[in-house]
């Protein structure tokens, strides 16, 4: 057993936020170099400083961990690699030919990225709000996203539009896009993505009204199966005033559909 230890101080100045991944360099890695099923075990004694502090920056550790980025620690990369090798063999490929040698590892990393939001809490992006005497529509339009259809594990890509009616507090505009980005990183159906985003905005901002419209193209409908390139799926979730008041609903839909 070869033990590699980082040079991070054993007693960090602050606890590392639970929902964040710990950068690999900050783990004490215990690697059995003789065992092909190598495991990395984490040692709780070494945690980095919280994001945003000076010691979180690349000068000391060689990288910066963005606390806004979702990360799914439970993804078993080795298991995905094995499964991809099985699939390659099953379709008649030779997983040992040169071009495919690194493919299982690439696919594993790709799934880790595409499903990074599976175990995270996207609502955290809406935790910081600003008191503001503004009670009209706030709309962020054309938030591009790429998610994965849970039926075929093929991407569906498109745009989300989020509007809300504040009740004394507004949120940073980028945070609405961050919620979409994180919720998208799960296997799902478009309806659930739409509702999840609407529920989060309504709950976390105590918004008087929320409108979420999502438009996307599903690869499972364009590149396979029924093969209808150009087909577009639209979903919407209306809450509060946008659901109950036809005038508010018409106003927000007008803004969402307005030509730029
Ligand atoms: N409602 C909904 N359906 C979706 C979504 N993404 C994919 N689907 C559909 O999920 C369905 C799965 O249908 P199945 O009959 O079980 O699978 P299939 O035989 O591969 O279906 P086809 O795609 O028609 O070939 C398909 O109709 C897909 O178009 C989504 O986000 N929402
Ligand atoms: Zn599909």
- Cα separation of 243 and 257, whole Å? 17
The pLDDT, as a whole number, for residue 21 is 52
Asked if 87 contacts 133 with a C-beta cutoff of 8 angstroms, the reply is: no
Q: What is the rounded average pLDDT of the residues 62-73? A: 85
Q: Given this model, what pLDDT does residue 7 score?
A: 41
Are 50 and 17 spatial neighbours (Cβ–Cβ below 8 Å)?
A: yes
Q: Is the dihedral of CA 53, 58, 61, 66 positive or negative?
A: positive
Q: Tell if the pTM clears 0.90, that is, is over it.
A: no
Residue among 148, 220, 225 to mutate when testing ligand 1 (max atoms within 8 A of CB) = 220
Phi and psi at 214, nearest 5°, equal -125, 130
Residue 108 CB–ligand 1 contact under 6 Å: no
151 lines ligand 1 (CB under 6 A): yes
Q: Is 259 a catalytic residue?
A: no
Contact 213, 236 (CB under 8 A): yes
Topology (CATH) of 124-257: GTP Cyclohydrolase I, domain 2 (3.30.1130)
Catalytic entry in 60, 146, 220, 251: 220
The domain made up of 2-114 has a fold known as GTP Cyclohydrolase I; Chain A, domain 1 (1.10.286)
For the Cβ of 218 lying below 6 angstroms from any atom of ligand 1, the answer is: yes
Coil/strand/helix, residue 96 = coil
Phi/psi at 130 (nearest 5 deg)? -120, 130
Q: Ligand 1 in contact with 149 (CB < 6 A)? A: yes
Assess whether 150 carries a catalytic annotation: yes
Instruction: Give 59's pLDDT tier (boundaries 50, 70, 90).
Output: low
Tokens of 8: 């991070």
φ and ψ of 113, to 5 deg: -70, -45
152 tagged catalytic: yes
- Least confident piece of the model among 49-53, 76-80, 135-139, 176-180: 49-53
For range 167-185, the mean pLDDT: 97
Average pLDDT over residues 54-63: 57
Residue 98 is classified by DSSP as G
Segments making up each domain of the chain, as ranges: 2-114, 124-257
Number of neighbouring beta carbons within 10 Å of residue 150: 12
* Nearest to 242, CA basis, from 230, 221, 256, 222: 256
């Amino acid at each position: 057993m070869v033990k590699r230890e980082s040079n991070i101080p054993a007693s960090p100045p602050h606890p590392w936020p639970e929902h964040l991944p710990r950068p690999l360099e900050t783990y004490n890695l215990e690697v059995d170099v003789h065992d092909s099923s190598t495991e990395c075990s984490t040692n709780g004694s070494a945690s980095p400083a919280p994001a945003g502090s000076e010691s979180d920056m690349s000068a000391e550790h060689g990288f910066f961990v963005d606390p806004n980025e979702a990360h799914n620690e439970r993804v078993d990369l080795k298991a995905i690699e094995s499964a991809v090798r099985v699939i390659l063999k099953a379709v008649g490929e030779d997983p040992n030919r040169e071009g495919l040698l690194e493919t299982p590892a690439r696919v594993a990393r790709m799934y880790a990225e595409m499903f990074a939001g599976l175990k995270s809490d996207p609502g955290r992006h809406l935790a910081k709000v600003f008191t503001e005497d503004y009670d009209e529509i706030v709309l962020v339009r054309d938030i591009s996203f790429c998610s994965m259809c849970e039926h075929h594990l093929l991407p569906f890509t498109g745009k989300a539009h989020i509007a809300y009616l504040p009740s004394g507090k507004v949120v940073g505009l980028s945070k609405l896009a961050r919620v979409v980005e994180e919720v998208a990183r799960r296997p799902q159906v478009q309806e659930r993505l739409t509702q999840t985003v609407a529920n989060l905005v309504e709950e976390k901002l105590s918004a008087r009204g929320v409108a979420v419209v999502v438009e996307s193209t599903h690869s499972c409908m364009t590149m396979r199966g029924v093969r209808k390139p150009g087909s577009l799926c639209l979903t919407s979730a209306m809450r509060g005033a946008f659901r109950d008041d036809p005038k508010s609903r018409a106003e927000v839909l007008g803004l969402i559909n307005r030509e730029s």
